[in-house]
A and B are shown apart, each in its own frame.
Chain A
Amino acid sequence: MNAISIEHISKSYPSSDEKALDDVTLTIKKGSIVGILGPNGAGKTTLISSIVHLIKFDSGNITVLNQPHTNPAIKYKLGLVPQEYALYFELTPFENLVYFGRMLNIPKRELVKKIDELLEVLGLTAVKNNRLKTFSGGMKRRVNLAASILNNPEILILDEPTVGVDVQSRAVIMNYLKQLNEVEGMTIVYTSHLMAEAQDFCRFVYIIDNGKIVVGDSPKNLMNTYEVKNLEEVFLKLTGKNK
């Protein structure tokens, strides 16, 4: 079963002559970990924003769990970890998570239990009552992730979740994502320009450049096809650009 199906979507911004997305078609299988890789400005964030209905595309069609992506019920099944720290820095991690949890209609008792569990797994229990403004970038990223999985969504979309993150936080985040996929069966869609991380983490990758999907396959197959040692070389061969 497909978690996400994207058919021929195109998107242009008034500020640019070039298309941000140009006839993009792809599918993401349920329970998979899929990377959408591309250089800066390739269209990764536009693609993700289209899936979660943050922006409207010009043409094409997106279905999520066999339903139109505009269906409000989808919001309960789809979590987004945005590139920005979409949190309140004056609140503690606990207060942030309570607020976003209430927006997801999670009953209070269940919510508190879930928050404690997440903070424990992500190594934030000791600082759960400290204000976010005192946190490092990595710690904020971990709270950002926690806010997106409060209701155990079936699909989790992460937009460059490890940008500017220290090694320790990156390990915590990536290990937990693997665990979510393996134990909970959560479908994970992940954008990045960190090829080594993607090669290790993703079972399938799409490489996007200039708004077009250049190729889609498993990292191993891609390396074999292009006769290179790592995903970074595949990326450079296909895009001809720096990461």
Chain B
Amino acid sequence: MKKLFAGIKKELILLGRDKAGLTLLFLMPAILVVVITMVQNSTFQLMKDNLIPVVIVDKDNSATSKNLISEIAKIKEFNITVKSTLSEENLNKGVQKGTYKVGVFVPKGFGDFTDNTSNVTAQQIIASINDKTYGEISKSDTVRIQLIFDPVMKLSFRTAIKEGMENIITGMATKQMISTLYAELTDREIPDKIYKLLSQKPHYFEEKIKDNNGQTVIPSSTLHNVPAWSVFAMFFIVMGLGTNILYEKQQGSFMRLRTLPVSFMNVLLAKVITYIMVCFAQIAVILAIAFYVFPSIGLPTMEWPPSMITFIIITFLIALAATSYGMLVGTLATTIAQASAFGPISVMVLAAIGGVWVPTFAMPEFLQKLSIISPLNWGLESYYGIFIRHSTILDLGTYVLLFIMFSICCFSFTFASLKKQGII
């Protein structure tokens, strides 16, 4: 036991003197978690609070186009400005330059076209009921609204705006068509009461975000980023541990230890314990930032998980997996360049496919399938389970097994490789 403590003390001193390594292990994840959470939070706030500026040029000036503008104005995410004096060319230029994010150009004749389309559709329905036919609208008569987007706007924004507009126009056309049908079938104008009914939007959906205990959970950028960067930080010890083992191999201290009355297991165990302690220290730093710094800079706060034991067990398993991986990298590497390049790059790749940078559901299907091989994904999903879904250790049984198997495999390969190299 005294030998083990001496080994841990030696490892801690070595770590403490590696200022660059400490910066990478503690400062980098701390900066990342703050910066990325702020960025994601501001994007969330942009969607929530900052309205997207939409400029509408109404050259039609019909009842339909005015109705369209009033319907668009009801969309909470849009900040509408109507500039009907603007030419189509100037609107295009304004959007291209980024002066306007979205331009809507309603050409002259749009109202007549939509009215005509609805009437023709209604007449086609009536003709069909009476086993007759009715003529179609010529394509040359088509009048389209132009949606002009700033090139920097993301596809997701563009799609959301386009679908919102389509919903409005489809709703208006449907109302017009039903009014025409009503008039044709009853020889009366549609009553205001019925017309207003058509304008009402039934609420088909009720949004619920619940944890495993049925409690409502409000997702936030903090709840995504704190677990994600914690797992990333823990696996980043691969760099320090990898080079640590390589130095011992190259400088001969492993060889000296073999001539001393100490088990090599003892030597390696001291490293494992030290780096697991480092992982817990990293988690403590990141959580301290999330709890005490985030609220003071306007970021969503963190909540303690309901089961601290589950959190500690999972953190230990992630730390064990990260440590075993670091030892394997250090054992297989033959140069410092290999250890200090392969380790971090492999962690970056595993983080990318594991959902640390971008959530796995937003990835292509084959990457989603690939994500299950990443231990960072297991860590991330386990932490999501603990912090968001409030899962128990039994709920996370699959990940527990995966972590144990991964660690056993890494340690086994490490021992086999050290034996092959004649070090143990």
Give the segment of B10-18, B127-135, B165-173 that binds chain A. Answer: B10-18
- 1/0 per residue, CB under 8 A from A, across B243-270: the answer is 0000000011101111111100000000
Give the distance to chain A from B1, nearest Cβ to Cβ, in Å.
Answer: 11
Chain B nearest Cβ from A142, distance in angstroms: 15
Inter-chain contact B252/A82, CB cutoff 8 Å: yes
Q: For the complex, give the distance between the alpha carbons of A84 and B255 in Å.
A: 9
Contact A99 B14 (CB under 8 A): no
**Does A87 contact B251, Cβ atoms closer than 8 Å?**
yes
- The contact of B14 among A52, A73, A90, by CB within 8 Å, is A90
Is B6's CB under 8 angstroms from A147's CB? no
Among B13, B258, B259, the residue within 8 A (CB) of A78 is B259
Query: How far, in Å, is A153 (CB) from chain B's closest CB?
Result: 10
Q: Is B422 an interface residue (CB 8 A)?
A: yes
Contact in complex: A102, B2 (CB < 8 Å):
yes
A residues in contact with B7, CB < 8 Å: 99
Say whether A85 faces chain B, with CB atoms less than 8 Å apart: yes
Are A86 and B260 in contact, CB atoms less than 8 angstroms apart?
no
A24 contacts B by Cβ under 8 Å: no
Give the total of B residues in contact with A, Cβ under 8 Å.
Answer: 22
Cβ of B3 under 8 Å from chain A: yes
Query: Of B9, B14, B259, which one neighbours A80 at CB under 8 angstroms?
Result: B259
Question: Which secondary structure characterizes the binding site on chain B?
Answer: helix
Cross-chain contact B256 with A72 (CB below 8 angstroms): no
Given contacts A91-B10, A91-B14, A102-B3, contact A84 B252 (CB under 8 A): yes
Contact of B260 among A98, A100, A131 (CB under 8 A): A100
Interchain CB contact under 8 A, B260 and A75 = yes
Instruction: Report the count of interface residues on A (CB-CB < 8 A).
Output: 32
Q: Which of A76, A89, A147 contacts B256 (CB 8 A)?
A: A147
- B46 CB to nearest chain A CB (Å): 47
- Chain B residues positioned under 8 Å from A83 (CB to CB): 252
Contacts of B252 in A (CB 8 A): 82-86
A124-167 contacts to B, CB under 8 A, are: 131, 147-148
Task: Determine whether the beta carbon of B261 is less than 8 Å from that of A104.
Answer: yes
- Give the tally of cross-chain contacts (CB within 8 A): 72
Residues in chain A near residue B262, CB distance under 8 A? 103
**A80 and B251 in contact (CB under 8 A), knowing A75-B261, A104-B261?**
no
| Residue numbers in B under 8 Å from A85 (CB-CB) | 251-252
| CB <8 Å contact, B251 and A91 | no
Select from chain A the residue with minimum beta-carbon distance to B6.
A102
Complex contacts, B3 vs chain A, CB 8 Å: 102-103, 105
A191 to nearest B CB, angstroms?
15
Min Cβ gap B424→A in Å is 11
Partner of B6, one of A80, A84, A99: A99
CB nearest neighbor in A for B422: A55
Partner of A52, one of B2, B9, B259: B259
Distance (whole angstroms) from the CB of B199 to the closest CB of chain A: 75
Q: How far is the CB of A45 from chain B (nearest CB, A)?
A: 11
CA distance A86 to B10 in the complex (A): 15
Residues of A close to B10: CB separation below 8 A:
88, 91, 95, 99
- Per the bound structure, the CA–CA distance linking A80 and B256 in Å amounts to 8
Nearest CB in chain B to that of A81: its residue: B256
Q: With A and B bound together, what is the CA distance between A191 and B117 in angstroms?
A: 101
Inter-subunit contact A100/B256 (CB<8 Å): yes
Report the Cα distance A131→B14, complex, angstroms.
Answer: 11
Q: 8 Å CB contacts to B: which residues of A61-84?
A: 72-73, 75-76, 78-80, 82-84
- Tell me if A1 counts as interface (CB < 8 A to partner B): no
Is there contact, CB below 8 Å, between B255 and A82? yes
Q: Does A54 contact B (CB under 8 A)?
A: yes
Residues on B with C-beta less than 8 A from A104 are: 260-261
Residue among A52, A88, A103 making CB contact with B261, cutoff 8 Å: A103
Q: Is the CB of B14 within 8 A of A86?
A: no
Chain A residues, CB < 8 A from B258: 54
Minimum CB distance partner of A55 in chain B: B422
Show the binding face of B for A, using Cβ within 8 Å. 2-3, 6-7, 9-10, 13-14, 17-18, 251-253, 255-262, 422
Which A positions have Cβ atoms within 8 angstroms of B?
A: 52-55, 72-73, 75-76, 78-80, 82-91, 95, 98-100, 102-105, 131, 147-148
Q: List 29 A-B contacts (CB under 8 A).
A: A53-B259, A54-B255, A54-B258, A54-B259, A75-B259, A76-B261, A78-B259, A79-B259, A80-B259, A82-B252, A83-B252, A84-B252, A85-B252, A86-B251, A86-B252, A86-B253, A87-B251, A88-B10, A88-B251, A90-B18, A91-B10, A98-B6, A100-B256, A100-B260, A103-B260, A103-B262, A104-B261, A105-B2, A105-B3
- Nearest 10 CB-CB pairings of A with B: A84-B252, A86-B252, A102-B6, A86-B256, A75-B261, A103-B262, A103-B260, A80-B259, A99-B10, A90-B17
Given A89-B251, A95-B10, 12 additional A-B pairs, CB 8 A? A52-B259, A53-B259, A55-B422, A72-B261, A80-B256, A86-B256, A87-B251, A88-B14, A99-B6, A103-B6, A103-B257, A104-B261
